[in-house]
Amino acid sequence: MGYETFTVEKRDGADWVTLNRPEVLNAISLQMVRELNDYFGGLFHDRDTRVVVLRGAGKAFCAGLDIKERAENRDAIPFAGGFSFQGYLADVYIKMRRCPQPIVSLVHGAACGGGFSFVLASDIRIAGESAKMNAAFIKLGLSACDMGCSYFLPRLVGTSVASELMLTGRFIHAPRALATGLVSEVVPDADLDATAQGYVDDLLAASPMGLRMTKEGLNLAIDAPSLEAAMAIENRNQLMTSASPNFREGMQAFLEKRKPNYVVE
Ligand SMILES: C/C=C/C(=O)SCCNC(=O)CCNC(=O)[C@H](O)C(C)(C)COP(=O)(O)OP(=O)(O)OC[C@H]1O[C@@H](n2cnc3c(N)ncnc32)[C@H](O)[C@@H]1OP(=O)(O)O
């Protein structure tokens, strides 16, 4: 399926996905929701794509819900088959979190509301110096407990900062985002792609199953009710990776002082 609201550039096992509605700061339209669901849904059975990079075209990452479109369709945002906009957009974040590929988000300019949640649902976050993010829902008269914000944000920055950000809708700028652990790195905007490429290279150097099992295991462990439950998930995933030929190759490569040649399992 070709997409109109974002582009997908395939580069050596990584998809570079660029939200592409710059005239409205990449605001989330109905069509974007449909297309993102299709794209992220397709990743579950895609062995060739091993990493996803998510970024925005123009001067911002994503300004959240397309307010103009929503205002014109005030109460009725239905999809065929009775899906609501709310539920269908929520599915995008769930797919981002559950798809096997790690997602690296590159934030420059504003990331608001549902756009902020794209950042939160990613696995690795890098901010440009211009980045500013907010739970803008509250400023529009909505609950800020939306699009996974109440799930992701406290886990990333703790309940104190999450409460402040969600209750006030204030922007968190790049330096504070780094200090609170919301992002891994802050770099000049012009260096975002090159910085991301470094992460992509590291991720692609891992064995494909090891990478998938790590994303899945970590995200399940975050929700696990006990140490024992988290370790049961670890044990299951480790049994699977240790049965893979890539584990034998990894050990052999270490012993022979060379880089491993991993295959896609
Ligand atoms: C389920 C999900 C819910 C949610 O996501 S709720 C949150 C919704 N989002 C927001 O409330 C953010 C709204 N936007 C803003 O507050 C500001 O923008 C920014 C701080 C992001 C950036 O401000 P600045 O740099 O001054 O740009 P600009 O002139 O406001 O915007 C450039 C053009 O983009 C349009 N635009 C910006 N955000 C949205 C949006 N969310 N929906 C639709 N259009 C948007 C504007 O109107 C304008 O367009 P024109 O040049 O024609 O006036």
User: What are the pLDDT digits (tens) for 170-216?
Assistant: 999 999 999 999 999 999 999 999 999 999 999 999 999 999 999 99
Residue 82 has pLDDT above 60, yes or no: no
Residue 81 has pLDDT above 60, yes or no: no
Q: Looking at this protein, which amino acid is placed at residue 89?
A: L
Angle at the Cα of 174 from the Cα atoms of 67 and 30, rounded to 5 degrees: 20
Q: Where are the domains of the chain?
A: 6-203, 207-256
67 lines ligand 1 (CB under 6 A): yes
Residue 73: pLDDT band (50, 70, 90) is confident
Q: How far is the CA of 65 from the centre of ligand 1 (A)?
A: 9
Classify burial at 190, counting beta carbons within 10 Å of its beta carbon; exposed 0-12, middle 13-18, buried 19 or more: exposed
**Predicted local confidence at residue 84, as pLDDT:** 77
- Least-confidence region, from 19-33, 60-74, 173-187, 202-216: 60-74
What ipTM was estimated for this complex?
A: 0.99
Q: Which ligand 1 atom minimizes the distance to the CA of 59? A: 25
Q: Which of 19, 23, 25 to mutate to test the pocket of ligand 1 (most atoms within 8 A of CB)?
A: 25
Which CATH number is 6-203 given?
3.90.226.10
pTM beyond 0.90? yes
Q: How far is the CA of 63 from the centre of ligand 1 (A)?
A: 5
Residue 76 has pLDDT above 60, yes or no: no
* Residue scoring higher pLDDT (178 or 86): 178
Nearest protein Cα to ligand 1, atom 18: 63
Q: How far is the CA of 160 from the centre of ligand 1 (A)?
A: 27
**Residue 118 · residue 105 · CB < 8 Å:** yes
User: What is the chain's mean pLDDT, rounded?
Assistant: 95
